[in-house]
Amino acid sequence: MISSIAQWHQVNSFAALPPDFYSRVRPQPLSDPQLLHVNTDVAALLDLSPQALHDPLFLRVFSGQEPLPGSEPLAAVYSGHQFGVWAGQLGDGRAHLLAEVTTSTGNHELQLKGSGMTPYSRMADGRAVVRSSVREYLAGEAMAGLGIPTTRALSLVVSNDPVYRETVETAAIITRVAPSFVRFGSFEHWHKAPRQLQWLTDYVIHRFYPECLDTTAGLPGAGKAYIVNWLAQVVKRTAQLIAHWQTAGFCHGVMNTDNMSILGLTLDYGPYGFIDAFQADHVCNHSDTRGRYAWNAQPAVAQWNLHRLASVFTTLDIPVEALQEALSGFEAAFLETYRGSMARKLGLRAWQPGDDDLYDGWWGLLHEQAADFTLAFRRLAQVPEQPDTFLALFPDHEPVHDWLDGYLQRTAHDNLPAAERVERMNGANPLYVLRNHLAQNAIQAAEQGNGSEIDTLLRLLRNPFTETDGHSAYAEPPPAGSRPVAVSCSS
């Protein structure tokens, strides 16, 4: 534990790359910043004692007022494909990497988001509004609580500085924490620059995928086999991540290649959503009028994004066949995670051949009747003993009984003791997820300077599988007839 953030041991490995990869630029502070919330779980990961959080230096650094002692902030450059189209150079347009620190739990990069303009801001203001900052702050913890790889956030600082979006809102800065914020787009940026591409690749492999260096010679792409090995690992991690998203009912909303983490983390929370009433083609981002990033499109989009990443490596003279070989592992990795997760969620011992039909029937049932995603899984555990609350989620019971007949036969074949089945299912199917309307309540309070709703949500989302007394409303779908919260790219 340390009592001041000045005591962190810094390594700053990304900053040790040549200056081609970033611009040294200072954050622009908010006026009269207020520390609305500190995430004590992330503070603990970073070895911070309560004293460190109360030290005035904490607010000064994480509101962008002064650099973390001993570090030089930077904004990283990257490019990317946005909505399927090459967008050219992007970069941290409103984010500053403060430092990478070594703690008892490993290395963590600390990045401010909403901290002012950088050379990559293009026409925008470098700011983030309270609304989107609260959403990102909560989302990292919601995903972590579900066991899904994600960036997280340490602190949320708000101010009265105006920010102009569709209406006038106020500015906020969150401090994001991850081992690295390198994206697919960080590689795409160097698609015509072999030297820089090689440096970045070697940096990422040595630092985050050292196991890939351990390769047998003789694979295609002489001398570059470790890169092919590594790409296969990125493909695997990405496939596993998306499988987790699918079975959690999570839609990212903006799966542009610049929002895809090279470490397989959920990155850049914007117009994301956890599905309430299930529709397989659910689109959570209001700006995504064509549904490119619909729930049922996410696996194919991830594959498309991986193709964009892999194709960059032709610049290093890696043969296309070797790249295709690395890409070909997606489906198997996706299916393994997806099938395992569905088996746990449905209370089966393990996936067996033939179960895919059962899973497909389940999705069909939920889709046809727009059943609540989270509650349908959760309440299935109560069938067959007390089927009523489960059945209440479906307006038409006949097709539900048909599916349940097959399902109960399948569970009988497994022969798990009833109590064990229920326990397993309740450990895999959350009661509380970060539904948009819950986030909205926390945002409204935060805009009034009140962080207590954030506090309540974090408590529930950190233990989403355990029922907490007095909080039944947080497990409910949005009130019937209420207008869905519209979330878009504007943040």
Measured from the CB atom, the residue of 270 and 299 that comes closer to ligand AMP is 270
Alpha-carbon span 56 to 187, nearest angstrom? 38
Measured from the CB atom, the residue of 125 and 325 that comes closer to ligand AMP is 125
Q: In this structure, what are the phi and psi dihedrals at residue 472, rounded to the nearest 5 degrees?
A: -60, -30
Q: Is 188 in the site for Mg ion (CB under 5 A)?
A: no
Q: In this structure, what are the phi and psi dihedrals at residue 303, rounded to the nearest 5 degrees?
A: -65, -40
Q: Which residue is nearest to ligand AMP (CB)?
A: 93
Alpha-carbon span 394 to 55, nearest angstrom? 53
Measured from the CB atom, the residue of 126 and 221 that comes closer to ligand AMP is 126
Minimum gap (Å) between residue 284 Cβ and Mg ion: 16
Q: Is 356 a residue of the active site?
A: no
- Active-site position among 47, 258, 268, 276: 258
Whether residue 384 has a cis bond before it, omega within 30° of 0: yes
Part in contact with ligand AMP (CB under 6 A); list of ranges 123-131, 225-233, 322-330, 365-373: 123-131
Part in contact with ligand AMP (CB under 6 A); list of ranges 119-127, 133-141, 332-340, 376-384: 119-127
Minimum gap (Å) between residue 80 Cβ and Mg ion: 8
- State the binding partner of 125 from Mg ion, ligand AMP, none, CB within 5 to 8 A by kind: ligand AMP
Report the 10 Å Cβ neighbour count for 288: 20
Please tell me the count of residues contacting ligand AMP according to CB under 6 A: 16
Q: Is 265 in the site for ligand AMP (CB under 6 A)?
A: no
Site string for Mg ion, 123-152 (x = CB under 5 A): ------------------------------
Alpha-carbon span 435 to 482, nearest angstrom? 13
- State the binding partner of 92 from ligand AMP, Mg ion, none, CB within 5 to 8 A by kind: ligand AMP
- State the binding partner of 90 from ligand AMP, Mg ion, none, CB within 5 to 8 A by kind: ligand AMP
Report the 10 Å Cβ neighbour count for 60: 16
User: If 0-12 CB within 10 Å is exposed, 13-18 middle and 19+ buried, where does residue 235 land?
Assistant: buried
Measured from the CB atom, the residue of 259 and 374 that comes closer to Mg ion is 259
29, 126, 299, 430: residue in contact with ligand AMP (rule CB under 6 A): 126
Q: Is 73 in the site for ligand AMP (CB under 6 A)?
A: no
Q: How far is CA 81 from CA 88, 187, 328, 410, in A?
A: 8, 12, 21, 44
Interface positions, 79-98, toward ligand AMP (CB under 6 A): 90-94
Measured from the CB atom, the residue of 255 and 310 that comes closer to ligand AMP is 255
Interface positions, 230-269, toward Mg ion (CB under 5 A): 259, 268
Q: Is 254 in the site for ligand AMP (CB under 6 A)?
A: yes
Task: Kindly list the catalytic residues.
Answer: 258
- The binding site for ligand AMP (CB under 6 A) comprises 90-94, 120-121, 124-127, 254, 259, 268, 270, 489
